[in-house]
Structure 1
Amino acid sequence: MKTILNVIWLVCGGFFLALSYFLAGIVCCILIITIPWGIASFRIAGYALWPFGRMVVDKPGGPGVASTLGNVIWIVVADIWIVIGHVTTAFTMAITIIGIPLAIANLKMIPVSLMPLGKEIVPTNRPFVSTYR
């Protein structure tokens, strides 16, 4: 089922979403000081390409001071437009019944695009230790 949803996702906009994150990663890596956000954009691009069967968790040890500061800068500089894009495309996907799971997957990407540093994308069948107790 995950494979079918991923293929539908890929055809209905996931490819272009992943491509936009990939291009943003290239731009961030060219502007040397923004390389951490570029690496995070590449990670999100992989997640945007094949989201079903994967989830976002905090990296072991939790986010550090540098990750938190980087995420605050990211929110101020670029994130509002990314969140608006995800909400808009999720709304348009949810218009049809078959698009509802795709809209949920799109909304599932908002937290990692909101604060990309200090996150890891793992398969859902892999056991992980939650940092929330």
Structure 2
Amino acid sequence: MNLLGNIIWLLFGGLAVAVEYFVSGLLLCLTIIGIPFGFQAFKMGLLALFPFGQTSVASEQGSGCLCVLMNILWFFLGGIWIALTHLCFGLLLCITIIGIPFGLQHFKLMRIAFTPFGREIVSTRP
């Protein structure tokens, strides 16, 4: 079921979202200061490619002061707009019964868009 959901997700907008994350990650990595933010964009891009069967969890080592500071910078420098975009798309998709699973994936991406530092992507498959 995850495979079918991922295929439909890619065909109807997931690929475009992932490409946007990857392009922004490459642009952020052009500067030395932006490299950590670029890596987080790549992480979100990988989750945006195949969101079904994956989730983000707080990592054990990601609770330090540096992660908190980087998450605050991320939030004010663009994370709020990314999260609001995922919120709007999630609400639009949840209008129909068929779109609810895809809207829930946007809500999952919204959660990681708020605080990407200190989170890791894990598989929910056994």
Superposition TM-score, scaled by structure 1 size: 0.89
CA distance, structure 1, for counterparts of residue 75 and residue 108 of structure 2:
17
Alignment length (residue pairs): 126
Give the aligned partner of residue 129 of structure 1.
Answer: none
Offset of 1:93 from its aligned partner? 1.7
CA distance, structure 1, for counterparts of residue 95 and residue 89 of structure 2:
10
Give the aligned partner of residue 51 of structure 2.
Answer: 51
With 16-25 and 56-65 compared, the bigger mean Cα shift is at 56-65
Maintained 8 Å contact 2:61/2:118: no
CA distance, structure 2, for counterparts of residue 63 and residue 13 of structure 1:
33
Give the aligned partner of residue 32 of structure 1.
Answer: 32
* Aligned-partner SS, 1:33: coil
Q: Which runs of 5+ in 2 are unaligned?
A: none
Give the aligned partner of residue 94 of structure 1.
Answer: 94
Q: Percent identity?
A: 37
Offset of 1:63 from its aligned partner? 2.2
Offset of 1:12 from its aligned partner? 1.2
Q: Which runs of 5+ in 1 are unaligned?
A: 127-133
Q: After the TM superposition, list the runs of 4 or more consecutive aligned residues in structure 1 that deviate by more than 3 angstroms.
A: none
* Aligned-partner SS, 1:104: helix
Q: Let me know the Cα RMSD of the aligned residues.
A: 1.2
Superposition TM-score, scaled by structure 2 size: 0.94
